[in-house]
A and B are shown apart, each in its own frame.
Chain A
């Protein structure tokens, strides 16, 4: 929506594209804020799920954008590299809770069947029901956006590309 764009400065590619249909932007902006904004799930855990789903969905925009966001959210370079599939997640993440999340996020993205019971059980042992619900919505919204961004070939921001280039993560 126009007022949001002016209030928050230069809009990102998703906002700018949705501005072509303000009715959609008005509905989707608060939805995305609820999912990706502050909540019961920490930014670090959110970015683990989002980046793993983005990679498995093969969305260049989402992967590059959330690589940068993940680094700013406290994930190490090794952790980000592992989530991008360039190293085993088992060695990069020592916390069993986070390892369970990585496996579950990957299963969500690969679909289309229900997540395997063993993977689902590991997640359920580590997270409360409300957290599982939220994680499922985070992963699902990321999958929707991954298709949207890929279909429209949205470009990552210059700042994102500069950060990734500096960290040799492009």
Chain B
């Protein structure tokens, strides 16, 4: 058994290889750790490159691939790219669920027969609460999109960024996603990380190898410790969690990650990850 597979099996390494398909987004969320927006530089991974990384990830022993951004569905070839990647490993694609037109849903239909899951963002059962950090009208877009994705045959999860304000808010949110057809098992909560547009958020998780779970993350600019790491401050790439620039072959990045993980003190346990 190789070191990567052993790490994944004993829980010290993430089994999912994360890919940043792009950094631009049609939204400008208040807590976005990548400070994505319509004007953000795209920094896109070419579709063929993403497929090749999925192929190499499968060979190396990763168990799945995650695609995030930015908004992945701003990449015109994304539906077909997801299908090609799914030929190698199960794929989880994160989305703000605001771009699912009839035309796009038709192109996503073939994914129903493939191991592809769409994870859409929904922060609150209250439209105003949800939209405050995301965008006006975001709540209604997401609530409309989820049943349509399910009707198209796609597997769907709901992700909430930041914990609901209280138990009642959580209960109302869970009631809403259940009503939309998403089980509790497919509802995940992600931390807000003190990064990007949340850089001044004192309540957010400080980014470090100590409190971010090691999940290899490849972007157009290199490989990072975690999907919470590839961020930009003042137009410049943050390098504190950059582990290498070279990502071809993917083995090179894996070796750098393993080297760093191997150098951590015994008992070091990272806690935050994208579920």
Q: A95 contacts which chain B residues (CB < 8 A)?
A: none
Which single member of A1, A19, A21, A23 contacts B260 (CB below 8 Å)? A1
Which single member of B209, B237, B245, B246 contacts A2 (CB below 8 Å)? B209
Beta-carbon contact of A2 and B264 below 8 Å: no
Q: A72 contacts which chain B residues (CB < 8 A)?
A: none
Beta-carbon contact of A23 and B240 below 8 Å: no
Chain B residue at minimal CB-CB distance from A19: B239
Per-residue interface assignment for chain A, residues 13 to 25, with 1 indicating a CB less than 8 Å from any chain B CB and 0 otherwise: 0001001111100
Beta-carbon contact of B240 and A22 below 8 Å: no
Q: B260 contacts which chain A residues (CB < 8 A)?
A: 1-3
Q: B241 contacts the other chain (Cβ, under 8 Å)?
A: yes
Q: How far is the CA of A3 from the CA of B243 in the complex (A)?
A: 9
Beta-carbon contact of A3 and B263 below 8 Å: yes
Chain B residue at minimal CB-CB distance from A20: B239
Given A23-B245, A23-B246, A2 contacting B240 (CB threshold 8 A) = yes
Beta-carbon contact of B242 and A19 below 8 Å: yes
Q: B256 contacts the other chain (Cβ, under 8 Å)?
A: yes
The number of inter-chain residue pairs (CB within 8 angstroms) is 41
Beta-carbon contact of A2 and B210 below 8 Å: no
Q: How far is the CA of A21 from the CA of B245 in the complex (A)?
A: 6
Say how far A14's CB is from chain B's closest CB, in angstroms. 13
Q: A26 contacts the other chain (Cβ, under 8 Å)?
A: yes
Q: B23 contacts the other chain (Cβ, under 8 Å)?
A: no
Per-residue interface assignment for chain B, residues 152 to 164, with 1 indicating a CB less than 8 Å from any chain A CB and 0 otherwise: 0000000000000
Say how far A114's CB is from chain B's closest CB, in angstroms. 38
Q: How far is the CA of A167 from the CA of B115 in the complex (A)?
A: 67
Chain A residue at minimal CB-CB distance from B237: A20
Beta-carbon contact of B208 and A22 below 8 Å: no
Per-residue interface assignment for chain B, residues 203 to 246, with 1 indicating a CB less than 8 Å from any chain A CB and 0 otherwise: 00000111000000000001001000000000001011111111
Say how far A155's CB is from chain B's closest CB, in angstroms. 16
Q: How far is the CA of A23 from the CA of B225 in the complex (A)?
A: 14
Say how far B230's CB is from chain A's closest CB, in angstroms. 13
- Considering the complex, which residues of chain A in the window 1-55 have a beta carbon less than 8 Å from any beta carbon of chain B? 1-3, 5-6, 16, 19-23, 26
Beta-carbon contact of B241 and A2 below 8 Å: yes
Q: B107 contacts which chain A residues (CB < 8 A)?
A: none
Given A2-B209, A2-B225, A23 contacting B244 (CB threshold 8 A) = yes
Given A2-B225, A3-B263, A22 contacting B209 (CB threshold 8 A) = no
Chain A residue at minimal CB-CB distance from B245: A21
Q: B132 contacts the other chain (Cβ, under 8 Å)?
A: no
Beta-carbon contact of A3 and B256 below 8 Å: no
Q: A3 contacts which chain B residues (CB < 8 A)?
A: 209, 260, 263-264
Q: B209 contacts which chain A residues (CB < 8 A)?
A: 2-3, 6
Beta-carbon contact of A6 and B208 below 8 Å: yes
Q: A21 contacts which chain B residues (CB < 8 A)?
A: 245
Say how far A136's CB is from chain B's closest CB, in angstroms. 30
Given A1-B260, A2-B225, A3-B260, A22 contacting B243 (CB threshold 8 A) = yes
Q: A19 contacts which chain B residues (CB < 8 A)?
A: 239-240, 242
- Considering the complex, which residues of chain B in the window 162-214 have a beta carbon less than 8 Å from any beta carbon of chain A? 208-210
Chain A residue at minimal CB-CB distance from B261: A3
Say how far B48's CB is from chain A's closest CB, in angstroms. 24
New contact pairs (11) apart from A5-B240, A19-B242, A22-B245, CB-CB < 8 Å: A2-B225, A3-B260, A3-B264, A6-B208, A6-B210, A20-B237, A22-B222, A22-B239, A22-B256, A23-B245, A26-B256
> Which residues in B have some Cβ–Cβ distance to A below 8 Å?
208-210, 222, 225, 237, 239-246, 256, 259-260, 263-264
> Which residues in A have some Cβ–Cβ distance to B below 8 Å?
1-3, 5-6, 16, 19-23, 26
